[in-house]
Amino acid sequence: MALPCPKVDDIINIMENWAPSWLAEPWDNVGLLAGREDAIVEEVWVALEADAALLEKAGSKPARMLLLHHPPIFEPLKNLRCGQPVQAALLKAAAAGLNIFAAHTNLDAAWGGVSHALAERLGLKNLQPLLPREGGHLLKLAVFVPVSQTQALSQALFAAGAGRLGHYQECSFAGRGTGQFRPGPEANPSLGRRGALSRVEETRLEVMLPQSALAAAVAAIHRVHPYEEPAYDIIPLLNRPAGVGWGQVGDLTEAEPGEVFLREAARKLACPAPQYAGPLPERVSRVAVLGGSGGMGLKAAAAAGAQVFVTGESGHHSASLASDLNICLFLAGHYASEAVMVEPWARRLGRELKRAGLSCRVRIPRVKSMWQWL
């Protein structure tokens, strides 16, 4: 029997489990940019970015979804005019039912994201985030529920986005105790009687969740909990999210001469115009990477003991800073440093769809960089 096709929402859930939207920077624009969550998806295209031609081509077939790293709608649009090529293509794609989803800075920060793919392409091992994501984004939710309802409430909270720790899902802690309450004259208790003191064996269920999932989690409590007035605590945490952050730092299996490493890096990344600044190391054994515009990672790369820092682009002042820090700064170009993500992204999506019992075609369209070189 053929597996059913996913809905747009199924693919969004897969992406939220991997690169949740709360990892995105506040200025970013990620998630579903056009389309409907309940639309059936027969084919997914995965690409780094989309120009007007790709948007038009992708929208030529119904039930198609486009997953992009660079959002085609980035800054707020003041109008939608057919005289503007990209806007006209977006209007046409939306009218054709094309579903457009973007994972940008959240895919940069996620474990297994852009910089992870860049590090693996360069052969790095023992990877660690170069700039770990700071704390302040996580909460602990503790809710008290009758023992018999613990499982149902747990599943509702997990579905709302709670209980994710690094590579693990459905994480929680449950402890038992005795809850006590006396319903007032206006109460409508599901257990006990008005005016009578009740004691109930309850579970203290604890889960961690991002701030962005709090509203959905609280709504799940009120929907599933049997009590008229559920008791719960919301506690801000300073924990760093496990395993996520900007860039990666790792080690080569064997040390290489500096010039050999740089030439091989340019070849592996298909760099059209590679550049480097700072000292050319005699030997390279430790390398830091940050896809895209990664100049802010230069100091962290030097502090992590890397002899080379690979990124897409950086400001002019970074050249002198690299010399001051005694680290080689290698610029691969923005496109080349991020295009390595597309193939692993498509493979992972295919695996996750299969694991979920769903099936649709996952393709990588032929896309040229918006930049051209002489």
The mean pLDDT value of the chain amounts to: 92
Q: Is 373 exposed, middle or buried (0-12, 13-18, 19+ CB in 10 A)?
A: exposed
Q: Is the pLDDT of residue 242 over 90?
A: no
Torsions phi, psi for 161 (to 5 deg): 110, 10
Q: b/e per residue, 222-260, with b = 16+ CB within 10 A?
A: eebbebeeeebeeeeeeebbbbbbbbbbbbbeeebebee
Residue 136 has what pLDDT? Answer: 66
Angle at 47 between CA 30 and CA 58, to 5 degrees: 95
Q: Is the pLDDT of residue 335 over 80?
A: yes
Q: Which domains does the chain have, with CATH numbers?
A: 8-108+341-363 (3.40.1390.30), 123-133+245-337 (3.40.1390.30), 138-236 (3.30.70.120)
pLDDT band at residue 123 using 50, 70 and 90 as cut-offs: very high
Mean pLDDT score, 246-273: 96
* Partners of 143 in the β-ladder: 205, 232
C-beta separation of 141 from 164 below 8 A: no
Of residues 339, 330, 331, the one with CA closest to residue 367: 339
Residue 53 has what pLDDT? Answer: 85
Residue 76 has what pLDDT? Answer: 82
C-beta separation of 325 from 370 below 8 A: no
β pairing state of 275-277 and 328-331: antiparallel
The proportion of the chain whose per-residue pLDDT surpasses 90, expressed as a percent, equals: 71
